[in-house]
A and B are shown apart, each in its own frame.
Chain A
Amino acid sequence: MARFGDLEAAVMDLMWSADGPVRVRWVADEINRERQLAFNTVQTVMENLFRKGWLTRRKDGQAYWYAAVRSREDYVAGLYREALTAAPDPTATLVRLVMEELQPAEAAQLRRALDKAAAQRTASR
């Protein structure tokens, strides 16, 4: 199923590059510049993305017009906030590398200590 995830990512990339709402036909044509995919496959992927809340759609006559719910930047910013919320996550969903910011004075002090340690190490070699 990893391929299916790739496909979703490819569709979302196209949706984010589109100027406004588009039809499945447009996405299928764009994707097929690089690979050979059935229209139905693309349609299924887009319906899945709609169900998962990544795409919205509006019916116009026979065809659905799809659009991304939020811009790529908005999603990334949301993901970043999720990863870096100030309060400790009680479930430890993610493990962050650095938990908090250093004060500028403290950071400067540490940088000096680091340079000293590095100098000592080269000297003792």
Chain B
Amino acid sequence: MTILLPLLLVSYAIAAAALGAWRLARASWPRRMPRLGIAAWQVLTVTATVSVLVAGLLVAVPCLPTRLNWDAVAELRQHYASPGRVVTGLIAAGGTLAVMARMTWAITAAMALARSRRAHHDEALALLGRPGPVPSMTVLDNDHPAVYCVPGRKRIVCTTGALDRLDRPQLQAVLAHERAHLAGRHHLVIMFARVLERAFPGIQFLATAAGEIGCLVEMAADDNAARHVNRLALARALLALATSSAPADVLSAAGTAGAQRIRRLLETPRPHSSARRKAGFAVTLLTAPVLALAAPTVALLAAPQCLPW
């Protein structure tokens, strides 16, 4: 009975990862509602990861007492009386701990690295950059057009090449896009997705999730910017920046994601009632964590006592 539960959880995780990723990557709605799409991908990755962790935990500790009582300890001792179960339990415990340690380490290391890199980048910007035409903007003397933001210090950097190519409304649109990134703390969203991908290489599902989240974050920032500035100005700005004569080694072969972004800005957004959309977001944001943890929680609740395997 208890071995069935972990098996079910692992199957659920695999099914959620495989089917969910397959459906989500092909669906068109995430690109129309990127914030919802990001939440969906996050729900998928969290639910799959936590399910696997809970499965390992359940194999290692098949008795989960509702209160700390000695009965559970005695039953555990009885459970571990046979050497076979000790081996299985040790493997499960070791695996679970290894996965948790890997995740913790990967996230801590990535955050520390990002912090030191940003500090270094910021120091260099202070010496090399000039104040831009707008506060919080730094201008870098370089002919190649580039615009980016440094999250920690909330700095928006623009090269002279980019300033030359953008007119005033386009520059405002670009700044609105970058401010949306900063306000939405998109760097954390991207970082967690990429850290998971790199912590468990070979799991294609995590790589797909990281890639899709990377695209959706850009679209979310585009949508946010389009609420404050002209959509077409933003589209023109993206086009101007994406068709620079950049050195060949920076060129990437398939520019489909960038083209998709510009195309969706050309479409008139559907006249949703904004209140309804807000309500939809609120409901999704509240239910997403519940959905993500539902299966593992149910599994934990279903295993309150020791049952013979």
Report A's interface with B, CB cutoff 8 A: 5, 8-9, 12, 52, 54, 72, 75-77, 79-80, 82-84, 86, 88, 90-104, 106-107, 110-111, 113-114, 117-118, 121
Determine how close the nearest CB of chain B comes to the CB of A11; give it in whole angstroms: 9
Which residues from chain B contact A88 at a C-beta distance below 8 Å? 194, 214
Which residues from chain B contact A86 at a C-beta distance below 8 Å? 249-250, 252
A-B contact pairs, 5 of them (CB 8 A): A76-B141, A94-B148, A97-B148, A101-B243, A114-B266
Asked if B266 contacts A113 (CB within 8 A), the reply is yes
Which residues from chain A contact B43 at a C-beta distance below 8 Å? none
Q: Pick from B55-63, B96-104, B183-191, B270-278 the stretch touching chain A.
A: B183-191
Determine how close the nearest CB of chain A comes to the CB of B271; give it in whole angstroms: 14
Asked if A75 contacts B128 (CB within 8 A), the reply is yes
Across the interface, name the chain B residue whose C-beta is closest to A5.
B126
Asked if B191 contacts A92 (CB within 8 A), the reply is yes
Determine how close the nearest CB of chain B comes to the CB of A4; give it in whole angstroms: 10
**Alpha-carbon distance between A82 and B191 when the two chains are bound, in angstroms:** 17
Asked if A91 contacts B259 (CB within 8 A), the reply is no
Main SS of the interface on chain B? Answer: helix
Q: Mark B106-142, 1 if CB is under 8 A from A, else 0.
A: 0000110110011001011111100000000000111
Determine how close the nearest CB of chain A comes to the CB of B39; give it in whole angstroms: 18
Query: Across the A-B interface, how many residue pairs have beta carbons closer than 8 Å?
Result: 152
Determine how close the nearest CB of chain A comes to the CB of B178; give it in whole angstroms: 7
Asked if A96 contacts B259 (CB within 8 A), the reply is no
Instruction: Say if the beta carbon of B298 comes within 8 Å of chain A.
Output: no
Asked if A93 contacts B262 (CB within 8 A), the reply is no
Determine how close the nearest CB of chain A comes to the CB of B160; give it in whole angstroms: 10
Partner of B243, one of A8, A79, A107: A107
**Alpha-carbon distance between A111 and B240 when the two chains are bound, in angstroms:** 10
Asked if A93 contacts B150 (CB within 8 A), the reply is yes
Asked if A93 contacts B114 (CB within 8 A), the reply is yes
Partner of A113, one of B123, B187, B198, B263: B263
Asked if A102 contacts B150 (CB within 8 A), the reply is no
Known: A76-B141, A79-B121, A93-B114. A100 touches B255 (CB 8 A): yes
Asked if B242 contacts A79 (CB within 8 A), the reply is no
CB within 8 Å of A: which B157-201 residues: 157, 159, 174, 177-178, 181, 186-188, 190-191, 194-195, 198
Asked if A95 contacts B255 (CB within 8 A), the reply is no
Which residues from chain B contact A80 at a C-beta distance below 8 Å? 140, 142, 144, 146, 159
Q: Pick from B6-14, B231-239, B280-288, B289-297 the stretch touching chain A.
A: B231-239
Asked if A12 contacts B114 (CB within 8 A), the reply is no
Asked if B241 contacts A8 (CB within 8 A), the reply is no
Instruction: Say if the beta carbon of B257 comes within 8 Å of chain A.
Output: yes
A8, A54, A94, A103 pick with most chain B CB within 10 angstroms: A94
